[in-house]
């Protein structure tokens, strides 16, 4: 079975082809460079860039052959990201997927982006239930519990900012550029032995919910105070201690959830799952840990194809 998938929910335009559980081809065009100068994604600009980028991907697709045959003769299903995401961006993917499905007379599947992130860890791999998944991205931070296939419950989520969003905001405050995650993670890797303290760990009523705005405010207040007093701002120290806090906070929450739900395996997914510190911490939590390959951590169409495969396979 061959699945063609489109992802366009945020600022990455991506096409992928999966044959059963084997990736055949993927191409992603990212808009990071364009949004960089604004310090975050501008939705209106993102939709316009998707239109431009999706046409570039269609050009590539036209020349693509599978086993020397036109790809759309070979495709069994077309999948696209239906929700959640930026409305204008999602619509670009939807229109193209619908047009292709109608022209080539293929069945179409509109899928959930967050479920796609979950399956990013199962590309080329099979899964067994129950599964506990920590999904951390620029827009979402949540703990998902899959008791069986197609049955998932969100047992905890952020009450305010998403983890990636906080990384981006703190990086902006420290003049480290956008996106903030990779830069702060690099600083952390170089300084973790030097700076081992952390900011205070937040508490929430539901022990599996998250709240990141307190950590964000603590860092921002610290920088403002130092600036006001004309004192030196040690960017490496603040960034490292911020990441120490995130790692410790996620670790504490996950330990509690693993105790309660006793999963067969645990999964880390979403753009922030590229974080080296968080990945290392995660590996020590359970004997069965699934991490997406780096190329499948940020938004991509292969994870949507993998999810589609799970939905339609017998």
The whole-angstrom distance between residue 208's C-alpha and the CA centroid of its chain comes to 19
* 88 touches ligand KG4 by CB under 6 A: no
| Residue whose tokens read 């998707």 | 50
* 164 touches ligand KG4 by CB under 6 A: yes
CB of 209 or CB of 299, closer to ligand KG4: 299
User: Could you tell me the smallest distance in angstroms from the CB atom of residue 5 to ligand KG4?
Assistant: 16
| Residue whose tokens read 């920088």 | 223
User: Could you tell me the smallest distance in angstroms from the CB atom of residue 9 to ligand KG4?
Assistant: 7
Please report, as residue ranges, which positions from 242 to 271 form the binding site for ligand KG4 (by CB under 6 A): 270-271
CB of 100 or CB of 275, closer to ligand KG4: 275
User: Could you tell me the smallest distance in angstroms from the CB atom of residue 272 to ligand KG4?
Assistant: 4
Contact 189, 277 (CB under 8 A): yes
Contact 285, 251 (CB under 8 A): yes
For 63, residues 6+ apart whose C-beta sits below 8 A from its C-beta are none
User: Could you tell me the smallest distance in angstroms from the CB atom of residue 120 to ligand KG4?
Assistant: 9
147 in a labelled binding site? no
The residue from 13, 28, 81, 137 that contacts ligand KG4 (CB under 6 A) is 137
* 180 touches ligand KG4 by CB under 6 A: yes
277 in a labelled binding site? no
50 in a labelled binding site? no
User: Could you tell me the smallest distance in angstroms from the CB atom of residue 120 to Zn ion?
Assistant: 9
273 in a labelled binding site? no
Distance CA 92, CA 101 (A): 14
Using the contact rule CB under 6 A, the part of the chain among 76-84, 134-142, 194-202, 247-255 near ligand KG4 is 134-142
User: Could you tell me the smallest distance in angstroms from the CB atom of residue 132 to ligand KG4?
Assistant: 19
Give, in order, the Cα–Cα distances in Å from 102 to each of 72, 80, 95, 125, 179. Answer: 12, 14, 11, 32, 37
263 binding partner (options Zn ion, ligand KG4, none; Cβ < 5 to 8 Å by kind): none
Distance CA 12, CA 26 (A): 12
156 in a labelled binding site? no
180 binding partner (options Zn ion, ligand KG4, none; Cβ < 5 to 8 Å by kind): ligand KG4
The residue from 137, 240, 243, 253 that contacts Zn ion (CB under 5 A) is 137
* 116 touches ligand KG4 by CB under 6 A: no
Helix axis angle for 163-173 and 180-191, nearest 10°, is 80
Contact 298, 274 (CB under 8 A): yes
Exposure string of 155-194, with b = 16+ CB inside 10 Å and e = fewer, is bbbbebbbbbbbbbbbbebbebebbbbbbbbebbeebbee
Using the contact rule CB under 6 A, the part of the chain among 87-95, 131-139, 144-152, 223-231 near ligand KG4 is 131-139
**In this structure, what DSSP letter does residue 85 have?**
S
CB of 8 or CB of 77, closer to ligand KG4: 8
Q: 26 φ, ψ to 5°?
A: -150, 140
141 in a labelled binding site? no
Count of CB atoms within 10 A of residue 271's CB?
Answer: 25
* 168 touches Zn ion by CB under 5 A: no
Distance CA 9, CA 91 (A): 9
Question: What residue ranges bind ligand KG4 (CB under 6 A)?
Answer: 10, 137-139, 164, 167-168, 179-182, 185, 270-272, 274-275, 298-299
């Amino acid at each position: 079975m061959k699945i063609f998938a489109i992802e366009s929910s945020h600022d990455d335009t991506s096409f992928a082809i999966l044959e059963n559980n084997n990736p055949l081809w993927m191409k992603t065009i990212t808009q990071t460079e364009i949004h960089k100068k604004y310090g975050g994604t501008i939705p209106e600009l993102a939709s316009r860039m998707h239109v431009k980028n999706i046409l570039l991907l269609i050009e590539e697709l036209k020349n693509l052959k599978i086993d020397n045959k036109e790809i759309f003769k070979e495709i069994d299903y077309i999948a696209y990201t239906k929700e959640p995401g930026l409305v204008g961006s999602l619509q670009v993917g939807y229109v193209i997927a619908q047009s292709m499905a109608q022209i080539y007379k293929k069945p179409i599947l509109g899928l959930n982006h967050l479920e796609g992130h979950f399956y990013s860890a199962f590309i080329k791999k099979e899964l067994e239930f129950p599964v506990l998944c920590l999904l951390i991205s620029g827009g979402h931070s949540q703990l998902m519990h899959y008791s069986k296939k197609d049955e998932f419950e969100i047992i905890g989520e952020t009450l305010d900012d998403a983890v990636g969003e906080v990384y981006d905001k703190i990086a902006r405050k420290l003049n480290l550029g956008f996106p903030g995650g990779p830069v702060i993670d690099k600083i952390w890797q170089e300084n973790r032995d030097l700076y081992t303290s952390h900011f205070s760990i937040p508490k929430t009523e539901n022990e599996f919910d998250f709240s990141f705005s307190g950590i964000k405010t603590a860092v921002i207040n610290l920088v403002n105070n130092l600036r006001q007093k004309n004192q030196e701002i040690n960017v490496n120290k603040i960034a490292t201690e911020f990441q120490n806090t995130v790692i410790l906070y996620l670790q504490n929450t996950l330990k509690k959830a693993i105790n309660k739900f006793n999963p067969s395996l645990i999964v880390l997914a979403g753009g922030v799952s590229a974080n080296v510190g968080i990945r290392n911490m995660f590996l020590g939590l359970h004997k069965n840990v699934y991490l997406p390959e780096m190329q499948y951590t940020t938004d991509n169409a292969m994870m949507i194809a993998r999810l589609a495969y799970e939905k339609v396979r017998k």
